[in-house]
Amino acid sequence: MEFFQRFAIPHPSPAIYASMVAIALVSIGIVVGLTYFKKWGYLWREWLTTVDHKKIGIMYLLSALLMLFRGGADAIMMRAQLATPEAKLLDAQHYNEIFTTHGVVMILFMAMPFIFAFMNLIVPLQIGARDVAFPRLNALSFWLFFVGAMLFNISFVIGGSPDAGWTSYFPLAGNDFSTSVGTNYYMLAIQISGIGSLMTGINFCTTILKMRAPGMTLMKMPMFTWSAFIANVIVVFAFPVLTVALIMGTADRLFGANFFTTSNGGMDMLWANFFWVWGHPEVYILILPAFGLYSEIISTFSGRNLYGYKSMVWSMILISLLSFLVWTHHFFTMGQGALTNSIFSITTMAIAVPTGVKIFNWLFTMWKGKIRFTTPMLYSVGFIPLFTIGGVTGVMLAMSAADYQYHNTMFLVAHFHNTIIPGVVFAMLAGLTYYWPKFFGFMLNEKIGKTTFWFIAVGFVLAFFPMYITGLDGQARRMYTYSESTGFGPLNMVSFFGGALMAIAFLLIVYNIWYSFKNSPRDIGSDPWDARSLEWATHTPVPEYNFARLPQISSSQAFWDSKKNGHVLFKGEIEDIHMPNNSGVPFVMSCIFFVAGFSFVFALWVPAVIALIGVFVCMTLRSFEQDHGYHIHAKEVKETEAKYGEVLNNEDRSRATSRV
């Protein structure tokens, strides 16, 4: 029994027991359903072993939506706890656990897979490629992310959730203060997922640099591809820092090392520096692809080319460089001295300049445009004022002297969410609506979509704007309760009501998907929005090979020019197309990583060593494997193309559909 006690929850509650039952029932239901409908073979062939960037993108998308609801549930519980003074819904320990898991899930297991979903779905199509540079590595990247997310999420039913905050500062995250295995989950799960993210960064940098269609120079790439490229460059430079920090933190907790201790030569501030050297560039890993999505959407629904293309590119490059020069503004109040604070205060304010350039570029794109207020455009237009407010409050926080008043208050919480929700969540939902017909063959209902937007926008304002006021009045962040005499109660109740509206909006997203699946027409053509970039030049649904003939690029708006100016986009004869084989190795290898991570969490050294050996065996087998892929013969490609008709004919039909 002593062996099994280590897996017990140290702070159980009825909610956790209910979660255990729910997880068991859902798992049984999935197994029974797959068995009853005889879908095990289909699941293995089409999804678990796929290397197709489109299917991998869809799996990222579904995972992100799942984690959105997981993290959203934590947020609602926190807002409910703080809605009234001295509430008893959560005790201090459970609040700390929910606070920690909310931050990790939303940043690393919701926002990151959302942007990777769009990168997988869109980038190869935008550059005229048939897949990414390393398809198997792409599959391994997804499965490492997925098993890392699952490892983190089982913590609240096996062993206990991490409780040291999403930043997991030492010494709070050390064994003396975090005595359960929760922080072990944090270290190992993020490590496994982070390895997958680093692989994605390398893969997409290579893909964009080496696999662009003939004629597509760097300055002819669509803006989303540019944003994805710069974000992945940041991934390549930032994620190794996190990897090293997590290895050191794991060594402290499991092997008694003293990297981040306050004694024996350790330095707890070293963790804070490592974390934010990764953590602040991470914000731009999320926001830059969102900027790319907004650029594509605003250009499409304004009926104009993106204003200031070159300035948009250079502003993103400047943002990426400055993102590595601002990390210590996260601990202005931790005693690093006036000179250091002054330097990083200046760099932090400087990063607002290229961001402001982009805001003006979007406004000038819309200026005198024929704007269509579709659901994606509503999110894009709503983003601009809300994100600008978040940016202005960021400049306030960048003033290091004033930051002593703001830093550990709800003002900072409001600022962060004021940038990340309009900047990332709005963009992801706009992109979800915009690209849904391309990959699922039907459009989401516009009326429900617009209703969802207003619920989210109004709910967001009500949820977070009151925090600016309570923060300036002294309400500290990370506190699970407050007294009635503080006067924070009414505004916190408004915040809870706003959070409830956002929760309703997320339920409307699910309803919209279900309703549209049942009722939306399927004959929408391949370009229902009358879009401008190359991903809309292929068929719907997108064939396995993406393009029967590689496009010939002559401008940054090649597809638009082919529709409006008669440019010939596809030339030459259809030939045999080389494609990569599916492989089960990435999935199997990731499952072994899961076993290794779980074993390290609980210091089960024998299975941990065996699992690590299994990882190296998979790598070795891949090194000696002779797999040259396969060819789709020209005759088969022509037969597939004949089912769709010529691309231009499809475009004519789709434009007619969009007008209706």
pLDDT tens per residue across span 50-60: 999 999 999 99
Q: Would you give the distance in Å from CA 432 to the centre of its chain?
A: 12
Range scoring the smallest mean pLDDT among 382-391, 515-524, 620-629: 620-629
Q: What is the DSSP string of 427-488?
A: HHHHHHHHHHHHHHSSPPPHHHHHHHHHHHHHHHHHHHHHHHHHHHTTPBTT-S---GGG--
What's phi and psi for 37, nearest 5 deg? -90, 5
The predicted model gives 161-176 an average pLDDT of: 93
The predicted model gives 155-174 an average pLDDT of: 92
pLDDT recorded at residue 541: 87
Query: Could you say which architecture CATH assigns to the domain 2-643?
Result: Up-down Bundle (1.20)
Question: Is the pLDDT at 67 greater than 50, yes or no?
Answer: yes
Question: What gap in Å lies between CA 496 and CA 462, rounded to an integer?
Answer: 8
pLDDT recorded at residue 657: 33
The predicted model gives 197-214 an average pLDDT of: 96
Per-residue pLDDT band for 9 (boundaries 50, 70, 90) equals confident
The predicted model gives 172-176 an average pLDDT of: 92
What's phi and psi for 579, nearest 5 deg? -135, 155
**Is the Cβ–Cβ distance between 172 and 178 less than 8 Å?**
yes
The 10s digit of each residue's pLDDT in 217-254 is: 999 999 999 999 999 999 999 999 999 999 999 999 99
pLDDT recorded at residue 523: 86
**What residue type is 311 in one-letter code?**
S
Per-residue pLDDT band for 1 (boundaries 50, 70, 90) equals low
The predicted model gives 113-126 an average pLDDT of: 96
247 vs 187, 433, 464, 484, 553, CA distance in Å?
Answer: 8, 39, 35, 44, 45
pLDDT recorded at residue 554: 85
In percent, the amount of the chain with pLDDT more than 90 equals 81
Question: What gap in Å lies between CA 187 and CA 178, rounded to an integer?
Answer: 13
**What residue type is 361 in one-letter code?**
N
**Neighbouring-strand partners of residue 570:** 551
The 10s digit of each residue's pLDDT in 353-365 is: 999 999 999 999 9
Question: Is the pLDDT at 649 greater than 70, yes or no?
Answer: no
Phi-psi region of 158 (alpha: psi -120 to 50; beta: other; left: phi over 0): beta
**Is the Cβ–Cβ distance between 104 and 152 less than 8 Å?**
yes
What is the dihedral angle through the alpha carbons of 503, 507, 513, 514, rounded to the nearest 10 degrees? 180
Per-residue pLDDT band for 264 (boundaries 50, 70, 90) equals confident
The predicted model gives 87-109 an average pLDDT of: 93
The predicted model gives 440-465 an average pLDDT of: 96
Q: Taking Cα atoms as reference points, which of 219, 324, 262, 314 lies closest to residue 557? A: 219
Per-residue pLDDT band for 563 (boundaries 50, 70, 90) equals confident
The predicted model gives 397-408 an average pLDDT of: 90
pLDDT recorded at residue 14: 83
In percent, the amount of the chain with pLDDT more than 70 equals 97
Per-residue pLDDT band for 2 (boundaries 50, 70, 90) equals low
Sign of CA dihedral 354, 355, 361, 364: negative
Question: Is the pLDDT at 6 greater than 80, yes or no?
Answer: no
623 vs 156, 329, 421, 620, CA distance in Å?
Answer: 38, 44, 43, 5
Question: Is the pLDDT at 175 greater than 60, yes or no?
Answer: yes
Residues sharing a CB contact under 8 Å with residue 21, sequence separation 6 or more, in sequence order: none
Which helix (H) or strand (E) covers residue 561, if one does? helix 558-564
Per-residue pLDDT band for 655 (boundaries 50, 70, 90) equals very low
The 10s digit of each residue's pLDDT in 26-38 is: 889 999 999 999 9
**What residue type is 185 in one-letter code?**
Y
The 10s digit of each residue's pLDDT in 614-634 is: 999 999 988 888 888 999 999
Tokens in use for 393? 């409050």
Question: What gap in Å lies between CA 631 and CA 621, rounded to an integer?
Answer: 24
**Burial class of residue 158 in the structure, from the number of CB atoms within 10 Å of its CB (0-12 exposed, 13-18 middle, 19+ buried):** middle
Mean pLDDT of the chain: 92
Question: Is the pLDDT at 447 greater than 90, yes or no?
Answer: yes
Q: What is the 3-state secondary structure (H, E, C) of 208-220?
A: HHHCCCCCCCHHH
Question: Is the pLDDT at 646 greater than 70, yes or no?
Answer: no
The label of the residue with tokens 């691309």 reads 647
467 vs 416, 417, 476, CA distance in Å?
Answer: 11, 10, 10
The predicted model gives 41-46 an average pLDDT of: 94
pLDDT recorded at residue 644: 81
**What residue type is 423 in one-letter code?**
G
Per-residue pLDDT band for 19 (boundaries 50, 70, 90) equals confident
